A and B are shown apart, each in its own frame.
Chain A
Amino acid sequence: MWQALHTELGAEGLTVITVAIDDSLDAARPWVRLAGATHPSLVDTEHRFADLYHCVNVPTVLWVDEEGRIVRPQDVHYVSTEYASVTRFHPRKPIAALRAWVRGEAPAYEGSVAGDTKVPTETDQEARAAFAVAWWLHQHDRAEAAERWFVRAGELAPHDFTIRRGSMPIRGIDPAGPAFFQMVADWAAKGNAYYLPLPDTATSPDDFDVEPVEQFTMEQLQARIESQRDAADRAGHGD
């Protein structure tokens, strides 16, 4: 879907850059192949991008103008309707806003970019340092010590799912399995939101009336994730 927007809006000056917050190029490659991506498809194994931009969950998007300025703060952004019935994020308004900005028909953001940009606390940055220690230990085959620091990083920044969920594959935990769903349920039970979207393009119920999405159950969702993994696996072996 991002590839389609990159193609559609490329002549009007847009470049889509995707950043996979994954633990290896190999983990990201099948998905890039599956998407048929021709845009820059980067991989952030060390959480460099996540650190610089205080990215604590995916999928997120931010817009940068021709002068290299952030013109729309980082925001939750699902680009397809594929999981919309489960996530409750509809891409209708964000994509319309993107087209309008690229074509010069609307400003990138009506609010204050600086004011609405989320920034890290000292504890968040301590969590990143803990993640750095964990990552180094993991790369040097010291799995037990690495595990302690992955857990510690998640305790320091419990809202940072690039750490808590993103470290699951490294730690041998299924990131779309029971441990993940339990983590989200526990987080929600404490009154927290898994995503914190900006208000202007946030999904409203009428989006689903204007552009209906396919409805499916959690069982169907899990089957769908499995089938996508299989497809990515085949795409990854096809090169």
Chain B
Amino acid sequence: MTTWTVIDEQAVHTVEAGETLTVDPALLGWQRKPEGLCRDEVCIPVPAGVATGPMDAALLARLLGRPLVVDVAERVAAFGASAAERADALRSGLAPDFALPDVDGVVHRLSDYRGRKVVLYAYASW
């Protein structure tokens, strides 16, 4: 077995797998059921012949519509967010909530400012 680091957006997991990365869908919040991979009310069919338990990471990413980047030599992989999910969220009109630290390390959520008009200004020191 080989130890992999699997990044799922902000979560970082350690996964034991072989030379090819396999990931249990439960790690990403999806449960294997007779209907397929399910989360809340949504189920995604799984091709016939795919065993329960950990599955090929590339197949899992494809089924979920999420990008997957794998550095085989470094044993590091990242599942990104689905473009469709991001697009739907942005077009829904509701500002996606986030939690980020200020320069003193105090965490603020955008939703803390509900009831105020907010200007979100992105900049950088570069």
Give me the interface of A with B, judged by CB distance under 8 Å: 2, 5, 13-22, 25, 27-32, 40-44, 46, 48-55, 58-70, 77, 79, 98, 101-102, 113-114, 117, 119-122, 124-126, 128-130, 132-133, 136-137, 142, 145, 148-149, 152, 162, 165-166, 168-169, 175-176, 232
Whether B126 lies near A61 (C-beta < 8 A) is: no
**Chain A residues within 8 Å of B50, by CB:** none
Chain A residues with Cβ under 8 A from B110's Cβ? 17, 64, 68
Contacts of B96 in A (CB 8 A): 52-53
Do B121 and A15 have beta carbons less than 8 Å apart? no
Q: Mark out the residues of chain B between 98 and 126 whose CB falls within 8 Å of any chain A CB in the assembled complex.
A: 98, 100-105, 108, 110-111, 113-126
A-B contact pairs, 28 of them (CB 8 A): A15-B113, A17-B121, A19-B120, A22-B126, A28-B103, A29-B103, A32-B103, A44-B122, A49-B98, A53-B122, A54-B90, A59-B122, A61-B120, A62-B120, A64-B119, A66-B116, A70-B95, A79-B121, A113-B93, A117-B91, A122-B67, A129-B7, A129-B79, A136-B12, A137-B74, A142-B74, A166-B124, A232-B125
| B78–A130 touching, CB < 8 Å | yes
Asked whether A69 lies within 8 Å of B122 as measured between CB atoms, the reply is: no
The total of Cβ contacts below 8 Å across the A-B interface reads: 221
How far is B120's CA from A40's CA once the two chains are assembled, in angstroms?
10
Instruction: Enumerate chain A residues within 8 angstroms of B92, measured Cβ to Cβ.
Output: 114
Stretch in B18-26, B30-38, B41-49, B81-89 touching the partner: B81-89
